[in-house]
Every structure is written in C-alpha cells, then in structure tokens.
A and B are shown apart, each in its own frame.
Chain A
Amino acid sequence: MDKNMKILIVDDFSTMRRIIKNLLRDLGFTNTHEADDGLTALPMLQSGDFDFLVSDWNMPGMTGIDLLKAVRADPKLASLPVLMVTAETKREQIIMAAEAGVNGYVIKPFTAGTLEEKINKIFERVAG
C-alpha cells in the first residue's frame, strides 16, 4: 500500500475530519485533503487524481450515498476505493451503500484499529 496516496476526507463536522485526518497520519498517510460535503468533494475528485475517498453519509448539500453514486457513475472515478465512515447503522442503509458499490463501511464511534483494519482490507482487495 502506498502511504503517499492522496486521500479525500468528506464530513460536514470539522472535528470528525480532524479525527480521521489524525488517525490516518498515525497510520502513515499524510497526503490527506478535506471537503465538507458531496458538492464540494465531487469537483475535487474529478480534477484531483485522488486514490482513496473516506466519506460520511449524512451531510447537507450532497449526502455521502449520493456522492458514492456519482463517483461510480463517473467513468474516470468509477474504480476509486470508497470507505464510508458514518453514524448511519440502519440495516437498509448499509445494504443500500453496498449496492451502490461502497468498499468498506465503518460505523461511528469507531476505533483507530477498526479504521486501519478496513483500510488494509480495501487495499488488499484492490491489489489482489
């Protein structure tokens, strides 16, 4: 796994973005960028050669699930690994995210260990 990969963190709460950013830095990923909802994130993704997207679900403007759908619908972004980090734990919603093509799903509140495990799993699959 390339620790220099470019990661976009999307969450409407800046505290949560900070937490994820710090945890990723702890795991060795320092090339992180931030957006506060899907509407801000999508143009960044389209023009910014990102390698990994970490997104919340519930955000004003454009939600994480809509962002995921938009990413999968864009030929240039379709294969971008996406990890959802969200407080949404409703069964139907998780199924919906899976159907929309999410690569991993972490529920809040989470631990550093869970985040690392999911990221490793995603990139093992991408590599394999």
Chain B
Amino acid sequence: MEQTIVESERLAQARALVAALEAGNDTEATQIIRSFPENMEMDLFQEVGRLTRELHEAIIGFAMDDKVVQVIQHEMPDATERLTYVIEMTENAANTTLKAVEESMPVSEELAEISSKLAAEWDRFRDRKMELEDFRALSEEIGSFLTLASGHSKTLHDNLSEVLLAQGYQDITGQIIRRVITLIQDVEEKLVRLVAISGTARKNEVKKADVEMAGPAVPNVEQGEMLSNQDDVDDLLSSLGF
C-alpha cells in the first residue's frame, strides 16, 4: 500500500515536472526537482523507523524468551562453575602425576646406582681379582639388592598405575567442556538472530527430553539427583536387587 502511494506520488511529481518544463515555468520545475531528494530522505527515515521498531521488538522478545532468561540466570553461572571444575580436575591430575614421578625418580636412581656399583664388583670377580672374603660380602650385597629391586619395582609399578589413572581427567573435562561449547553455540545463535532483525516471530525452543544425560557431576551445579560416589551407586543398585 505504502509503496503504491509513494509510486503514484512520484508519478504525479514527474507529470508536474514535465508540465512545468513544457509551460516554461523554471521556478516550479526547480522546486519539483529539489523536492526529490527530500522524498527519498522521507523513505529512508521511514525505513530506519521501521528497522528501529523491529529491533526494539526483537530486543523485548529476546529478553522475554524463557530460554534466554534460563541461559543468563542459570546456564552462564553453571558454565563458569563447570570450567572452574575443569581447572581443578586438571590441576589435581597434574599434581598426582608429578607426585608419582617425583617419588619414582629417586627409586630408579637408587637402582641404577647400586646396580652399577655391583656390576663393577662383579667384573672384578669375573676377572678373578677378588678375594674370598670380598666375594662373600659381594654375595650378600647381591642378595639384599635383589630384595631391594623387587620392592622398588613394585613401587615404580604402583606409581605408574597412579599416573595412568590420573589421565582419566581428560575424558571428564572433555565432556564438561563440550557442554559449555554447546551453550556458547546456543547463545551465539541467539545473538545472530537478534542482529539479523528479520522481523519474523520467533518460535519457542524444543522441549527438554524426559531423562536427559546429566554428564559428569559438577559441584555447585544443579543437575538433578546425582550420586556422589561408587558406594552410593552400589547401594542404589543393591536396593534394585543387584
């Protein structure tokens, strides 16, 4: 409708311009020509007005969208909490690993030290440069070294197992970070929609599934009823007849 009015106005102006020119009325013709940009400006103002109104509506709609309120009030603080937990877990894993490595270093060094000392003695014995007395002492040393070596091997194995288990953080933090990424993508999508004010009405987000995967338990994040340890899981399962 608006466009038709604008078009018919323009047509009328064009006719008036032609008429003025034919009549030799220069003053009027100039006036008509000057009014053209004014009209174009009017159109521009109308368009800016329309866009402003749409932007305003979009912002109101954006703020009223329950999902957005949910994101701002819960999911953003949750994401912060989750990422803080990621830092905590990676730090713990690093500390556990470092501790195991630090404990293992002197153990392996001691093994290396004693074995090279014994090897030198052993060479002396093989070269028949050893007195019987010394050989008895060496024999005893070898005996106690074997006991020590077996104990140290166990210590090293235990420490290595600890390092192995500590790597589990990667799986859990990976899952937590993935969830935060999903949230960020969601927010990004909403911002893009706000920017691209197409003026079309927004549809509501898809409803949540009934039993949704809660992901790893994160302290201070509302995730439903989470069991805190293996004992609780075992108790629940045994109450179910396991």
Which residues of A approach B to under 8 Å, CB–CB?
11, 13, 15-16, 18-19, 22-23, 26, 57-58, 63, 87-96, 98, 105-112, 114
The tally of CB-CB contacts under 8 A between chains A and B is 96
* B217 touching A89, Cβ below 8 Å: yes
Q: Which of B114-122, B131-139, B166-174 contacts A (4 or more CB under 8 A)?
A: B166-174
* A13 touching B240, Cβ below 8 Å: no
* B240 touching A87, Cβ below 8 Å: no
Question: Closest chain A residue to B176 by CB distance?
Answer: A87
Give a binary string over B219-242; 1 marks a CB under 8 Å from any A CB, 0 the rest. Answer: 000011111111001001100101
Q: Does B216 contact A (CB under 8 A)?
A: yes
Q: Write out the residue numbers on chain A whose beta carbons fall within 8 Å of the beta carbon of B44.
A: none
* A22 touching B164, Cβ below 8 Å: yes
Interface range on chain B: under 10, 10 to 19, 20 to 34, or 35 or more?
A: 20 to 34
* A92 touching B225, Cβ below 8 Å: yes
Q: Does B64 contact A (CB under 8 A)?
A: no
Question: Closest chain A residue to B158 by CB distance?
Answer: A112
Question: Closest chain B residue to A90 by CB distance?
Answer: B214
Q: Write out the residue numbers on chain B whose beta carbons fall within 8 Å of the beta carbon of A96.
A: 211
Q: Does B215 contact A (CB under 8 A)?
A: yes
Q: Write out the residue numbers on chain B whose beta carbons fall within 8 Å of the beta carbon of A18.
A: 164, 167
Of the residues A23, A57, A88, A114, contact of B230 by C-beta under 8 Å: A114
Q: Write out the residue numbers on chain A whose beta carbons fall within 8 Å of the beta carbon of B60.
A: none
Which residues of B approach A to under 8 Å, CB–CB?
161, 164-165, 167-172, 174-175, 211, 213-217, 223-230, 233, 236-237, 240, 242
* A107 with B233, Cβ < 8 A, contacts A23-B164, A87-B172, A91-B227 known: yes
* B214 touching A13, Cβ below 8 Å: no
Q: Write out the residue numbers on chain A whose beta carbons fall within 8 Å of the beta carbon of B225.
A: 90-92
* A11 with B237, Cβ < 8 A, contacts A92-B211, A108-B216 known: no
* A19 touching B226, Cβ below 8 Å: no
* A106 touching B240, Cβ below 8 Å: no
23 cross-chain CB contacts under 8 A: A13-B170, A15-B168, A18-B167, A26-B161, A58-B215, A87-B175, A87-B217, A88-B213, A88-B216, A89-B217, A89-B228, A90-B224, A90-B225, A93-B213, A105-B233, A106-B233, A108-B168, A108-B172, A109-B165, A109-B172, A110-B168, A110-B230, A114-B230
Question: Closest chain A residue to B242 by CB distance?
Answer: A98
